[in-house]
Copies of this chain bind each other. A is one copy, B any other.
Amino acid sequence: MTHLDSLLEGVSGRRLRLARGQIIYDEGEPSGLMYRLESGCVRLQVNGENGDRQIIAFLFPGELFGFCLDQRNTSAEAVSDVEVTRFMTRMVLERSVARPDVVIELINRSSALYGVLAHHVEKITHLPSHERLIWFFNWLLRHAGGDGDASGVIELPMNYRDIADFLSLKPETLSRALKQLEDTGYLARRGQRTVVLRQPSVTLPLRPGDQLVAQADSPPG
């Protein structure tokens, strides 16, 4: 992660502020510019024909995106107010001739992104709604977790609709799944932008009727 950050320092980049909701680039546009996210959260997405939207990835500070030489194959939008540094892809490549490690780092990041997406697909196609959520929150905890994993406190930079479109659920389903997880004690909500995981990184064996917190205080029978 830190490798490339220093390397790109040698490439002239322009620092930009973008407001929440702003489109950074749109699918089909010619490429040429790439970005490093400095603060905030960005989403990559595919906009379907019927107004459907699939969010492919949430990006967090330190991550690079838009590294591509022909047409944009996804759209990028600001989830929150963000700061990015914008580079000309051409210049990054020129620099990489002198510094092979830049190429290596770019490749590593590309294949990492691919792997994340691959697993994302596997999860959203094979897990029921509430397990998708648990998986998502644990993933957030590991990635966006500035606070440290142990506490289980997650500040959500995105709204529920974004989460729904990331997990391929309807907002109503997300809402119900959240409630169920809250009721069963897997998580607690503080406002609707903060979630507290009770058991971070648990692979939950949740079946209808199971109760997590109940163990202590619900009388048997």
Contacts of A106 in B (CB 8 A): 107
A68 interface neighbour in B74, B107, B122, Cβ under 8 Å = B107
A73 interface neighbour in B112, B126, B203, Cβ under 8 Å = B112
Q: Separation in Å of the A168 CB from the closest CB of chain B? A: 4
The answer to whether A48 and B117 have CB atoms under 8 Å apart is no
* Residue on B nearest A105 in the bound complex, by CB: B69
A118→B67 CA distance, assembly (Å): 15
A118→B113 CA distance, assembly (Å): 11
The answer to whether A93 and B104 have CB atoms under 8 Å apart is yes
A121 interface neighbour in B50, B54, B97, Cβ under 8 Å = B54
Q: Separation in Å of the A8 CB from the closest CB of chain B? A: 16
Give chain A's interface residue range (CB within 8 Å of chain B).
35 or more
Q: Separation in Å of the A29 CB from the closest CB of chain B? A: 13
A112→B114 CA distance, assembly (Å): 11
Q: Report if A114-B73 is in contact (Cβ < 8 Å); known contacts: A68-B107, A126-B48.
A: yes
Q: Separation in Å of the A47 CB from the closest CB of chain B? A: 8
Q: Report if A56-B118 is in contact (Cβ < 8 Å); known contacts: A48-B126, A100-B97, A125-B125.
A: yes
Which A residues form the contact surface with B (CB < 8 A)? Answer: 44, 46, 48-50, 52, 54, 56, 67-70, 73-74, 93, 96-97, 100, 103-104, 106-108, 110-122, 124-126, 168, 203
